[in-house]
Amino acid sequence: MTATMSKERSADTSAVLDVQAVMRRLGERAKAAAEALATAPSESKNAALRGAAAAIRADRAAILAANAKDVAAAEANGTKGAFLDRLTLDEGRVEAMEAGLEAIAELADPVGDVIAEWERPNGLKIARVRVPLGVIGIIYESRPNVTADAGGLCLKSGNAAILRGGSESFHSSTAIAAALAKGLAQAGLPEGCIQLVPTTDRAAVGEMLTMTDTIDVIVPRGGLGLIKRVAAESRIPVLKHLDGNCHVYLHQAADPDIARAVALNSKMRRTGICGAAETLLVDRAVAATLLPPVLDALAEAGCELRGDEATRALDPRVLPATEADWDTEYLDAILAVKQVDGLDAAIEHINRHGSHHTESIVTEDAGASERFFARVDSAILLQNASTQYADGGEFGMGAEIGISTGKLHARGPVGTEQLTSYKYVVRGHGQVRP
């Protein structure tokens, strides 16, 4: 018994050492690649992105075969529903990855942009110039397409990426990363620009989160469990991406048609994305007239409704909501419905229960929407529009790596610009400070 344990322990220790060594090598390679990338011409980066898209196209069969392996393993483990859907690739989704990389190649290169410049009375010419962040560590879950999307966005913005995908999508991500590597090689850029962590060992994440010498930023993309682990363990600055507990608020001055359309689309267009609405608030004074057609539309679309007493009194289909419902991100065809006593009560509910992601007010009253905009503490606030517009593409920013719910550095959609920093360049002719 003792002998076995000691043997196990020694095997564990060597595995830990292996993971540590593997991760450190990845970090060093990424850092060297980031130095080269920081001054790489746009043409090289774009050539790598287009080459990667072409390689994915050429490797479609291999990528789909690798994905089939992942899906079969997940099914054998009893996985189903939204998780399995996120994991599964098909021709259309692979094509979307290719198109995504080509679209990133078309975006403007943010690196080297002069964000601002001015001259001081003493003749110093000051410019604030956009530069890459350095090395970005991205930790994500089941979607294999994040490998291409995130790798491509980091490359375009001049950053080296270390990608740690979910273990369920390991074969898929490995096949995609191989295609990305072909694009880099064709463009003469170092392989270290985009690296996939080559192990599913969870210790690799822990190691990654302490690599302060080589990784500049950690971007977690996934569920609350992942985000909380990263926030608790990371010694590296984190760009937080939380799934959204998003709200639609029907103000007493709402247009009934817009109320119905926005509530329905915010909830049901796609239920699994972070911009999907999870709670519908409605002014008590107008609920009896405004709410029934909205609830009809939702119920007809297959949405489960959970409401407070007042809402249940209006509509017997509505199941009873508990306190926990106000804090729940269903990411499913379920909506919590609550009546509130006016604008300030709605604002208070959202600030207390929301995740500071995206909220929409439906109203024809500009005073009400301005107050909502000023007082709700969320990344994205809309008036008379679906919460599902919370998306970098819909904002016109091109692709995005996610929606940041933190306030530091980047808030809202994180695209190529948000993956950069800046430096100050000051040109003088011998000035010294008095």
Supply the minimum distance, in Å, between the C-beta of residue 179 and a second copy: 30
| Nearer residue to a second copy within complex by CB, 83 or 373 | 373
Supply the minimum distance, in Å, between the C-beta of residue 375 and a second copy: 7
User: Which tokens is 382 given?
Assistant: 């809309």
DSSP-derived pairing of the beta strands 403-404 and 412-413: antiparallel
Q: What is the dihedral of CA 305, 311, 317, 318, to 10 degrees?
A: 30
| Nearer residue to a second copy within complex by CB, 39 or 200 | 39
Supply the minimum distance, in Å, between the C-beta of residue 23 and a second copy: 20
3-state secondary structure 60-96: HHHHHHHHHHHHHHHHHCCCCHHHHHHHCCCHHHHHH
In eight-state DSSP terms, residue 118 is E
- Answer whether 404's CB lies under 8 Å from 107's CB: no
* Exposure class string for 162-180: b at 16+ Cβ within 10 A, else e: bbbbbebbbbbbbbbbbbb
Helix 170-186 and helix 60-76: axis angle, to 10°? 160
| Nearer residue to a second copy within complex by CB, 131 or 286 | 131
Supply the minimum distance, in Å, between the C-beta of residue 396 and a second copy: 6
CA separation for the pair 17, 10 (Å, rounded): 10
Supply the minimum distance, in Å, between the C-beta of residue 318 and a second copy: 23
| Nearer residue to a second copy within complex by CB, 83 or 422 | 422
CA separation for the pair 214, 248 (Å, rounded): 42
Strand partners, 139: 164, 220
In the complex, which residues of this chain contact a second copy (CB under 8 A)?
38-39, 118, 120, 124, 126, 129, 131, 133-134, 216-217, 231-232, 235, 237-239, 255, 257-258, 261-262, 264-266, 269, 369, 373-375, 377-386, 388-389, 394-396, 406-409, 411-412, 421-433
Supply the minimum distance, in Å, between the C-beta of residue 432 and a second copy: 4
| Nearer residue to a second copy within complex by CB, 229 or 312 | 229
| Nearer residue to a second copy within complex by CB, 186 or 421 | 421
| Nearer residue to a second copy within complex by CB, 332 or 394 | 394
Closest CA to 211 of 39, 34, 407, 415: 34
In eight-state DSSP terms, residue 376 is -
Supply the minimum distance, in Å, between the C-beta of residue 300 and a second copy: 16
| Nearer residue to a second copy within complex by CB, 175 or 238 | 238
Cα 65 vs. chain centroid, distance in angstroms?
A: 27
| Nearer residue to a second copy within complex by CB, 105 or 264 | 264
What's the Cα-to-Cα distance from 259 to each of 71, 230, 277, 386, rounded to whole Å?
Answer: 39, 38, 13, 10
Supply the minimum distance, in Å, between the C-beta of residue 427 and a second copy: 5
| Nearer residue to a second copy within complex by CB, 126 or 226 | 126
Supply the minimum distance, in Å, between the C-beta of residue 280 and a second copy: 15
CA separation for the pair 246, 237 (Å, rounded): 25
Supply the minimum distance, in Å, between the C-beta of residue 397 and a second copy: 10
CA separation for the pair 221, 401 (Å, rounded): 8
| Nearer residue to a second copy within complex by CB, 64 or 215 | 215
Supply the minimum distance, in Å, between the C-beta of residue 187 and a second copy: 20
What would the DSSP string read from start to end of 204-228?
HHHHHTT-TTT--EEEEES-HHHHH
What would the DSSP string read from start to end of 296-326?
HHHHHTT-EEEE-HHHHHH-TTPEEP-GGGG
